[in-house]
Amino acid sequence: MDLYNQLSELGRRRAIFYPAFEIYGGVSGFNNYGPIGSLLKQNIEQKWRQRFVYREGMVELETTITMPEQVFLASGHVAHFTDIMTRCSQCGKVFRVDLLLNDLKIKSSEGLAPQAFDALIAKHGVNCPDCKGKLLPSEPFNLMFQTQIGSLDTKQIGYGRPEAGQGQFLDFKRLYAAAREKLPLGIAQIGRCVRNEIAPRKGPIRLREFTIIDYEIFFDPKDHSYPAIKLIQDQRLRILSASEQLAGSDTVKEVTVRDALAENVVGNEILCYFMAIAVTFLEELGIPFDKQRLREQLPDEKAHYSEQTFDQEVWLDRWGWTEVSGHAYRTDYDLRNHMTHSGEDLRVYKTFETPQNTIQITVKPIKESLIEDFGNRKADQILLLLSKSDLTIVARELQTKGFYELTGRYPVKLTATHLRIEEKRVEATGWYFIPHVVEPSFGIDRIVYATLEYAYSRKKKRIHLALPRDIAPIKAMIYPLVSRDGLPDIATHVYRSLLDEGFVVRYDSSGSIGRRYARADEIGVPICITIDYQSVEDNTVTLRDLYTWTQVRTAVPDLVDLLQKYYRKKCEFTDLGELL
Amino acid sequence: MDLYNQLSELGRRRAIFYPAFEIYGGVSGFNNYGPIGSLLKQNIEQKWRQRFVYREGMVELETTITMPEQVFLASGHVAHFTDIMTRCSQCGKVFRVDLLLNDLKIKSSEGLAPQAFDALIAKHGVNCPDCKGKLLPSEPFNLMFQTQIGSLDTKQIGYGRPEAGQGQFLDFKRLYAAAREKLPLGIAQIGRCVRNEIAPRKGPIRLREFTIIDYEIFFDPKDHSYPAIKLIQDQRLRILSASEQLAGSDTVKEVTVRDALAENVVGNEILCYFMAIAVTFLEELGIPFDKQRLREQLPDEKAHYSEQTFDQEVWLDRWGWTEVSGHAYRTDYDLRNHMTHSGEDLRVYKTFETPQNTIQITVKPIKESLIEDFGNRKADQILLLLSKSDLTIVARELQTKGFYELTGRYPVKLTATHLRIEEKRVEATGWYFIPHVVEPSFGIDRIVYATLEYAYSRKKKRIHLALPRDIAPIKAMIYPLVSRDGLPDIATHVYRSLLDEGFVVRYDSSGSIGRRYARADEIGVPICITIDYQSVEDNTVTLRDLYTWTQVRTAVPDLVDLLQKYYRKKCEFTDLGELL
């Protein structure tokens, strides 16, 4: 049994994670979290919030999962969020072409066009792996779950969001105002997303419904500095650069944050900062530094709008290097698209510290020619949209392409007959711009799984889940040695007093203490508290450590304080009492 | 402006809550939470977990929002989760009939059949309120959002869950085993749900996507005792009983928990216990006892399987008495349905404390007649299903209805020719049964809104949001009086030390202290910490109280400890330092 199989067995038996809808035979790509798993997941999410949001002075948002079509027309998901599939002409089975080729060790890439996939299929004579039938021409399959919002009179197409970031772009202006126009402004969202994967497999790695953290950090494109980076300049990163990969190597280079930036291995300070704390974050979840790497995406993997993207990968026993977070510099792609599609001005204005000499571009619409070509009403709409457009872009497109295209609600092509460009050198006191965005994005289910994998081992043949104490689902087990002679009273008192202080603790009075320890070790309970006959005499209890199986003896009245210190990492286990 | 309008204005301006997709014109029934709102919502959810789950020794679960059709065929949602709508024959507009009639002060009820609605429409001569056109015959409209899971070869219908409880029923057996077969076993789930409301209105009250807490408490139908009820026997409940309503009165009676049970006003101890702590819970959110009531549902409102249901209602300024939680005794309805539809045995076995005389019912399938009527293969399947059925029910149905119907995958009607019933008095050591369920179910968005409404007031003409300290989104604001002379250094130290201990705090250095206080009051920050020139001299700061605007002076090194005590409600504001 590989580690995944062992963890799956544990996951089912102790209700940590397991396939959904089991009594109906299951549907692939859907997993549930039981009591232990959901606590672990919540603790990891909360730890993430503490580190990435609160400590950085950033904010969080909660938007809906169901969204109307317009959002995904603008974001490009309707057109481009597809996998390429092929179907067997004989048995009808459907395959994701890149995975099918990959299984046959035929080199391809997720981003190829259907025709390119068909060429590979023809070249290598690939048939249906199940029935050997001929494969039909490849075609794109949109991965969004579609639905309909509203009833007959108001119905419109809606989709389940395939990522959580669109909410941040849509609400950016409102949140920017509420944050009193501060930049950089990071807006995080932790939430469920859905993707109708063609052939989900790999257990918790490729799910149809999953929890994502999308974190959009908006900043002034002229200033990607992030002062807190000074605090982590000497931190080391394990980077597998694009150039290394293009040269056919998978050699990871260790560089400091300082050097990564100085040598332009990472081209953006904000990108680099959050990547670095993502590494530390995983280390604190128990995933060692050398089992992580930051792999730069190759030009043909990268989204076309991305300046630079790194995947944070973790080594997993069954699947090898596996992406658990992505760090992309998305430029102004998203805001710009929502701006043209919605007609809303999503730019911000910033005053220069001192007035600056700058070239002011004015694009003068020639109203008469607009009316002539598009009619009165549409001309008015075009004028309105132009007043909200970034004129630098309008001018650039006109000059390079010969036309400027308004997309969205009123798609038209404007040429030099409609627009007059004027450039003027002026002293400006500020400027309008579309903020740029760095997006760290975390797959929480993969991170939960990786955390479990690195916590899991066998100690004296028994399962031992050494989860870090701060994310452990259950903080303490309370064991009365026997269920008589006043022991349950003390145990109940201990149990209640810990509960009252907000600790998630459990009471367990069945079986030998040894068996109770074994059950606790399987779900990673850092401390087991045993109430025995001595407790009745002197009001002390035994604490037993998950990690080392060490034991100490402590007075009951000190327990709450000590456990608070321990879980805030202010002391170690051996500081909790007298070593036994 | 009524309270809702005032809160909406605040909600938009300070990014607490606001309509989703605003830049695309919005879609009714979808709201977002901004930074302050999402923190408030999380704090309320966490407080709920502490009180209802951890302190009761119960568990939580996280299942998927997308679920396959089978689940909702079994639960009855595909057939019955409908509203009755009518459409205007002229303008095409769609109306929810009960709401349309309600607007015209014509008495109806949500549960009527389409024909009954049509009769009312005819009787009162109701036409389209918009264009006066004739209304088409009423028809049911299923409120579930439908989608398709999988691609061409494997596609199946899926739905977004309209409630969060089905996951608990599907996974019950696994969680029951993981909980070491303990009853009562409460399994909670906090998560998003979707309902395609015909005409969503009422802002945050009737949403198409919302967060629900469904809490399924499974228990032995012979034993609905809940020992912790002793702790709250004297707690008072404000109950509007069904009999009172049937008598045309809306008089609320105040009774103690003890009397409510003794007088059978509430027929189940578990139901009563969680209803009572729900009342306390809302009080702790700031919703006064006398602004709440527990309204018993009338026989024609109640789901047919429910023994008794109470709505916890809160008085809202615009909408009057509004349900924020429902408390239903669902009997074994859900597990039984999933049992017959899935063919899985969801019964549990419990040993009696002492062997009991009991009537053992055996239902002997007459194999030959089954084969004769249904064929060999189907007969086998029927035998298998029967072996997992509750024979008491089979016998009862046969005796009363003359047949027993197997639903689900293999629907057949079995009669006395197929089954022979035998009753025998035996001494039994235990029994198999389907657990019964009490379900408290909370609409979190409504609770968040009600909390805001009761926190909101104007104090000296300014907005004052007196949120209870434990759920306040931001725990402290840190204000350097000026941005020079070393004040920012102390302020940053205070800010960092509070962040490091997990407090959500904000740093704000702009505008006069008075204006900063005013901004903090609008979003309910319990404590504002000002660093002034005296701070540089003696390392003390001023704390200012949200609720009373009182101020105290405290030494910086004591801050973390004091704030921890204050937020754990171990002390009051005036205990935090020397009164100024």
Please write the tens of the pLDDT for every residue from A117-147.
Answer: 999 999 999 999 999 999 999 999 999 999 9
Determine, for residues A32 and B57 on separate chains, whether the beta-carbon distance falls below 8 Å. no
In DSSP terms, B315 is beta-bridged to B321
State pLDDT tens for residues A59-91: 999 999 999 999 999 999 999 999 999 999 999
Q: Which two tokens stand for residue B37?
A: 């709102």
Return the higher-pLDDT residue of A9 and A381: A9
C-alpha B403/C-alpha B265 separation (Å) is 36
Contact with chain A for residue B34, Cβ under 8 A: yes
Residue B44 sits at the vertex; the CA angle it makes with B38 and B48, to the nearest 5 degrees, is 140
**How confident is the model at residue A365, as a pLDDT?**
86
Closest approach of B560 to chain A, Cα-based (Å): 13
Q: Write out chain B residues lying below 8 Å of A14, CB-based.
A: 178
**How confident is the model at residue B154, as a pLDDT?**
78
**Reduced 3-state DSSP string for A311-325:** EEEEEECCCEEEEEE
C-alpha B209/C-alpha B219 separation (Å) is 31
Cβ–Cβ under 8 Å, residues A196 and B152: no
State pLDDT tens for residues B359-400: 877 788 888 888 988 888 888 888 877 877 777 778 888 888
Closest approach of A44 to chain B, Cα-based (Å): 14
Q: Which two tokens stand for residue A433?
A: 């711009």
Look at A377-381, B138-142, B157-161 and tell me which has the smallest mean pLDDT: A377-381
Nearest to B532 by CA among B548, B550, B512: B512
**Is pLDDT at B109 greater than 80 in this prediction?**
no
Tokens 């109770």 belong to which residue?
Answer: A516
C-alpha B392/C-alpha B445 separation (Å) is 42
Q: Would you tell me which residues 14-33 of chain A have a C-beta closer than 8 angstroms to some C-beta of chain B?
A: 14-15, 18, 20-24, 27, 30-33
Helix axes B444-455, B35-48, angle to 10 degrees: 110
Residue A503 sits at the vertex; the CA angle it makes with A497 and A509, to the nearest 5 degrees, is 70
State pLDDT tens for residues A4-63: 999 999 999 999 999 999 999 999 999 999 999 999 999 999 999 999 999 999 999 999
Q: Write out chain B residues lying below 8 Å of A209, CB-based.
A: 64-66
The mean per-residue pLDDT over the stretch B37-65 comes to 98
Q: Would you tell me which residues 382-441 of chain B have a C-beta closer than 8 angstroms to some C-beta of chain A?
A: none
Cβ–Cβ under 8 Å, residues B217 and B184: yes
Q: Which two tokens stand for residue A285?
A: 């979840």
Tokens 């939470």 belong to which residue?
Answer: B33
**How confident is the model at residue B385, as a pLDDT?**
79
**A35-81+143-332+439-444 and A82-142: same fold?**
no
Q: Which two tokens stand for residue B327?
A: 């408390």
Closest approach of B192 to chain A, Cα-based (Å): 8
Tokens 């051996």 belong to which residue?
Answer: A574
Residues recorded for chain B? 580
The shortest CB-CB distance from B152 to any of A59, A94, A192 is to A94
Cβ–Cβ under 8 Å, residues B322 and B316: yes
The shortest CB-CB distance from B32 to any of A39, A85, A167 is to A167
Return the higher-pLDDT residue of B152 and B39: B39
The mean per-residue pLDDT over the stretch B468-476 comes to 98
A474-579, superfamily in CATH?
A: Anticodon-binding domain (3.40.50.800)
C-alpha A164/C-alpha A156 separation (Å) is 21
E strands of A266-319, at which residues?
A: 292-296, 308-316
Residue B279 sits at the vertex; the CA angle it makes with B458 and B299, to the nearest 5 degrees, is 115
SS3 B127: coil
Q: Give, as one character, the DSSP assignment of residue A52.
A: I
ipTM comes to 0.91
CATH of span B35-81+143-332+439-444? 3.30.930.10
The shortest CB-CB distance from B66 to any of A92, A209, A501 is to A209
Contact with chain A for residue B486, Cβ under 8 A: no
In DSSP terms, B349 is beta-bridged to B432
Rg value, chain A, Cα: 29
Domain ranges within chain A, ordered by starting residue? 35-81+143-332+439-444, 82-142, 348-433, 474-579
C-alpha B109/C-alpha B118 separation (Å) is 13
Q: Write out chain A residues lying below 8 Å of B180, CB-based.
A: 510
Contact with chain B for residue A60, Cβ under 8 A: yes
Q: Write out chain A residues lying below 8 Å of B45, CB-based.
A: none
The percent of residues in chain B predicted with pLDDT above 70, rounded, is 99
Contacts of A543 (CB under 8 A, 6+ apart): A527, A528, A529, A551, A552, A553, A554, A573, A576, A577
Q: Write out chain A residues lying below 8 Å of B72, CB-based.
A: none
Determine, for residues B18 and A502 on separate chains, whether the beta-carbon distance falls below 8 Å. no
C-alpha A72/C-alpha A415 separation (Å) is 28
C-alpha B335/C-alpha B439 separation (Å) is 13
Contact with chain A for residue B154, Cβ under 8 A: yes
**Phi and psi torsions of B334, nearest 5°:** -70, -50
Q: How far apart are the first and last CA of chain B?
A: 37
Task: Find the closest chain B residue to A13 by CA distance.
Answer: B178
| Long-range interactions of B5-8: CB distance < 8 A, separation 24+ | B6/B456, B6/B463, B7/B449, B7/B452, B7/B453, B7/B456, B8/B203
**Phi and psi torsions of B508, nearest 5°:** -145, 120
The mean per-residue pLDDT over the stretch A540-560 comes to 98
Determine, for residues B32 and A63 on separate chains, whether the beta-carbon distance falls below 8 Å. yes
C-alpha A421/C-alpha A395 separation (Å) is 7
**Is pLDDT at A412 greater than 70 in this prediction?**
yes
Contact with chain B for residue A170, Cβ under 8 A: yes
Proportion of chain B in helix, strand, coil states, percent, rounded to 5: 35, 30, 35
**How confident is the model at residue B410, as a pLDDT?**
67
The mean per-residue pLDDT over the stretch B114-141 comes to 94
Q: Give, as one character, the DSSP assignment of residue B54.
A: I
Size of interface A-B (CB pairs under 8 A): 236
Cβ–Cβ under 8 Å, residues A144 and A196: yes
| Mean pLDDT score of chain A | 94
**How confident is the model at residue B375, as a pLDDT?**
86
Burial per residue of A192-203, b for 16 or more beta-carbon CB atoms within 10 angstroms, e otherwise: bbbbbbbbbeeb
The shortest CB-CB distance from B87 to any of A153, A191, A505 is to A153
Q: Which two tokens stand for residue B53?
A: 């789950």
**How confident is the model at residue B404, as a pLDDT?**
87
Proportion of chain A in helix, strand, coil states, percent, rounded to 5: 35, 30, 35
Q: Which two tokens stand for residue A31?
A: 């997993």
Contacts of B522 (CB under 8 A, 6+ apart): B10, B14, B462, B463, B464, B465
Return the higher-pLDDT residue of B386 and A408: B386
Looking only at the bridges linking them, the beta strands covering B436-443 and B209-219 are antiparallel
Contacts of A503 (CB under 8 A, 6+ apart): A475, A476, A563, A567
Helix axes A3-13, A444-455, angle to 10 degrees: 100
Number of neighbours of residue B422 by Cβ within 10 angstroms: 10
Determine, for residues B92 and A13 on separate chains, whether the beta-carbon distance falls below 8 Å. no
The shortest CB-CB distance from A41 to any of B62, B87, B156 is to B62
Instruction: Spell out the CATH class of B82-142.
Output: alpha beta
C-alpha A450/C-alpha A282 separation (Å) is 9
Q: Which two tokens stand for residue B121?
A: 């429409």
Mutate to test the interface with B, among A17, A21, A58, A141 (most CBs of B within 10 A): A21
